[in-house]
Structure 1
Amino acid sequence: MRKPLVMGNWKLNGSKEMAKALVSGLKQNLAGVKGCDVSIAPPVMYLDEVNGLLAGSNIVLGAQNVDTALSGAFTGDISATMLKEMGAKYIIIGHSERRTYHKESDEFIAKKFAVLKEAGLTPVLCIGETEAENEAGQTQAVCARQIDAVLNTQGAAAFNGAVIAYEPVWAIGTGKSATPAQAQAVHKFIRDHIAKKDESVAKQVIIQYGGSVNDANAAELFTQPDIDGALVGGASLKADAFAVIVKAAEKAKAK
């Protein structure tokens, strides 16, 4: 049985003071959680700071991005080996904000996926369609294309131990969220798509939902059979709200 993963993406938010207060609140609220894996991804500047603060907790450090190079003349970039040395495990790649603002292609994101796997880190591959693509009935085609960038270059086995985060772009930071039924339909499509290559890999891959997940809508989302937790944005900046989401995932998957 798949163990859900709830991951907090802090995006470009935070300070040393904020990190200390937020992690303290999370440790207090999540101390007894065992049925759901938990990770938080602060800005890279605070990775070492947050890793120290997480000591003794069940919360795992994550990061928001990685470069394809391991070293060299790449000013401003961060390598997989650096992230690993900082203690990060779950690394977000392909987030729609990277695809949109930094023009990252499916092929480039697939290279990041490969670099992370080689380093022994866990890729959290974000996929999802825009509002226009959704309205045009292209949701499945877009998700398939973004997954195939990895499947066709690295094979289905690359998804062993990996995470996929389905994040409809129209739901990120907008307050809109896919209904549980809508999200489940896409999650099932994603799992079935991988199953065409390897059914055993498809059964174990964690598929999170992301896009305006909050303490009010999380519980219903997690009742769906193919939704294995969430990638949380704004609500991850509030210890109480994030804890409610984590505990909802734990409760739903325990049934």
Structure 2
Amino acid sequence: MARKFFVGGNFKMNPTSREQKKALVKVLNEADLDPNVEVVIAPPAIYLIPLQDLLRKEVQVAAQNCYFKSSGAFTGEISPAQLVDAGVPYVILGHSERRTLFHETSELVAQKTRAAIDAGLRVILCVGETLAEREAERTKEVVEAQLAPVVATLKKDDWEKVVIAPAHADIRAFLASAVAPEVAESVRIIYGGSVTAANSKELGSQKDVDGFLVGGASLKPEFVDIINTKRALASS
């Protein structure tokens, strides 16, 4: 079965006002979006429910993070159970900023992934190397090490609820050997580097790239062009 193209927009700690939020929603709601693309945006947690109520039904929302406990004395955290109760379908886990700025280990990311799937969420799982690791040609080693705890934690059937966002797409062979060939063939691997309207067609035409996790460009009108990458490729 063909893997459905996936475009996620990670707003990070933006927008900074309700007016900016409304402007982003207006662009997405009025755009001619490719119906063959799964579109998910991840606003700051404070905007999740308001955005979900305002957005057209074809655009889903994701939390940018969650904890691995369903409840308890964990000030500042959001639980997978709370996200499910709020009707949020996706969560981003393991983003490079969580790993580097907040020192989240791959083992913690694996715990969160297990908890999120158990609660009923789908996971956008981020893996990737730092610039120094890339320059040292350690990309494959680093990415496989980040994936290994997740592989050890998930069951084979869980992978249908996971979208992987790496800085490179050369991990399908690892999944084939570490999990199963059918999982490697079916799981969506999306590009998690810098994506813009200017480079989306080139990136989207690469083998094994099933979509994007977009950062800053998801806050601009060009995000619509990125969503429609496959349509543009088909017509060119």
Alignment equivalent of 1:236, drawn from 213, 218, 223:
218
**Can you give the 5+ residue segments of structure 1 that lack an aligned partner in the other structure?**
168-185
- How many Å separate the matches in 2 of 1:116 and 1:254? 38
* Aligned positions of 1:7-86 closer than 5 A: 7-14=8-15, 15-30=17-32, 32-54=33-55, 56-86=56-86
CA contact (8 A) 1:51 1:86 kept: no
The answer (yes or no) to whether the contact 1:68–1:115 under 8 Å persists in 2 is: yes
TM-score by length of 1: 0.87
Unpaired segments of 5 or more residues in structure 2?
Answer: none
State, as a whole percentage, how many aligned pairs show the same letter: 42
CA shift digits 1:96-125 (9 cap, x unpaired)? 100011110000000010011111111111
> Across the two proteins, how many residue pairs are aligned to each other?
233
Q: Confirm whether residue 98 of structure 1 aligns to residue 80 of structure 2.
A: no
Q: Which residue in the other structure is 1:133 paired with?
A: 133
State the shift of 1:7 in Å: 0.5
The alpha-carbon distance between structure 1 residues 111 and 146, as it changes in their structure 2 partners (threshold 3 A), is same
Show CA shifts across 1:8-38 (max 9, x none). 00000112211111111111114x4211110
Structure 1 outlier segments of 4+, above 2 Å: 153-158, 249-255
- Give the distance between the partners of 1:116 and 1:251, measured in 2 at CA: 34
Could you tell me which residue of structure 2 aligns to residue 215 of structure 1?
A: 197
| Cα distance in 2, alignment partners of residues 148 and 108 from structure 1 | 12
Secondary structure at 1:110 match in 2:
helix
CA separation in 2, counterparts of 1:69 and 1:243?
Answer: 36
Change in CA separation of 1:84 and 1:213 when aligned onto 2, cut-off 3 Å: same
Which secondary structure state, in structure 2, belongs to the residue aligned with residue 72 of structure 1?
coil
8 Å CA contact retained: 1:68, 1:79: yes
Amino acid at match of 2:20: M
For residue 254 of structure 1, report the CA deviation from its aligned partner. 9.2
Output the CA distance in 1 between the equivalents of 2:173 and 2:108: 24
Q: What amino acid sits opposite 1:226 in the alignment?
A: D
Letter in 2 for 1:34: P
Q: Which residue does 2:4 correspond to in 1?
A: 3
- Distance 1:8-1:191 versus aligned 2 partners, 3 A rule: same
Distance, in Å, in 2 between the alignment partners of 1:59 and 1:117 is 21
Deviations 1:148-188 (A, max 9, x none): 11112324443223100013xxxxxxxxxxxxxxxxxx41x
Distance 1:253 1:36, change over 3 A: farther
TM-score norm. by structure 2 comes to: 0.94
- Which residue in the other structure is 2:184 paired with? 202
Structure 1 residues 74 and 137, CA gap change in structure 2 (3 angstroms): same
- Root-mean-square deviation (CA, aligned residues, Å) is 1.6
